[in-house]
Structure 1
Amino acid sequence: MPLVTAGVVVLDCAEPEKLALFYKLLLEAEDTDATANLVEIRAADGFRMAFRRDMNATPPSWPRPENSLQAHLDFLVEDLDAAERRVVELGGRPLEAKDVPGPYEERMCSDPAGHSFTLRRGRQAAPKQG
């Protein structure tokens, strides 16, 4: 048994209820716990996220250098266009309109509170050419 195991990814934000709803709908997750200052969700695959109230939370400014990236999440998707449309429907926004160079197809987005994340094609037979 490992000494340390993965727990919960926690994002600080001013409105945890709203941010939890965004990720709950995006991941088709369910609520597992909620208090006045913390909401936790669990996706069908077991991935857990929590959203902690911090009225002084400052969203990352990536790709601008001030306040930088802080951290970001990667989500695996089968259809990049459909996943990006869903992010926008739920109040998130794309951060880059062009394809990112490299062997994987991915798109950068942010949630309604400004936390960045990547939508990455999860099942791909061969690396992207070019």
Structure 2
Amino acid sequence: MAVARLGTVVLDCPDPLALAAFYAEIIGGKAEETEEGWVELTGHEGTPLAFQKSPGYVPPRWPAEDGSQQFHLDLTVEDLDAAETRVLALGAKAVDAGDPVRTWRVYTDIAGHPFCLCAC
């Protein structure tokens, strides 16, 4: 029997409103600041996503030579090329766009968190 169920995925960052707006453009929803330093992305399908202000935030590195990336989001898309164009226009950075025939590509968001666009 499970002890718990997954509630919310929370990303630390220097600017929660900006990062929530970035992901709202990608997965839909609306950024809502529920308390100072805490922003929730509401009105989208899937697992709840929130953003927490972290004054000493240091972004993960991908790939990290001295350990793992710790965490990343896999975002499923219909058209990899169109999705890539959109996320790059929003400020994402490509870190492993890979072989054109591969079904996934790696980026970092505006706060440096790695995420993948994955063809469904």
> What range is the shorter-chain TM-score in?
0.7 to 0.9
Q: TM-score with structure 1 length normalisation?
A: 0.82
2:70 is matched with 70
Q: Which segment is superposed worse, 45-54 or 110-119?
A: 45-54
Shift in CA distance, 69/43, structure 1 to aligned 2, threshold 3 Å: farther
Q: Out of 112, 115, 120, which is 1:114 matched to? A: 112
Higher-strand-fraction structure = 2
For 2:67 and 2:58, how far apart are their aligned partners in 1? 8
Higher gyration radius (CA) = 1
Runs of 4+ in structure 1 off by over 3 angstroms are none
Shift in CA distance, 93/72, structure 1 to aligned 2, threshold 3 Å: same
Q: Structure 1 vs Structure 2: percent identity of aligned residues?
A: 39
How far 1:96 moved relative to its partner? 1.2
For 1:17 and 1:52, how far apart are their aligned partners in 2? 9
1:94 is matched with 94
**Contact 2:16–2:53 (8 Å) recurs in 1:** yes
How far 1:67 moved relative to its partner? 6.4
**Contact 2:17–2:33 (8 Å) recurs in 1:** no
Count matched residues. 120
Structure 2 unpaired stretches of 5+: none
C-alpha root-mean-square deviation of aligned residues, in Å?
2.2
1:85 aligned counterpart, secondary structure: helix
Structure 1 unpaired stretches of 5+: 123-130
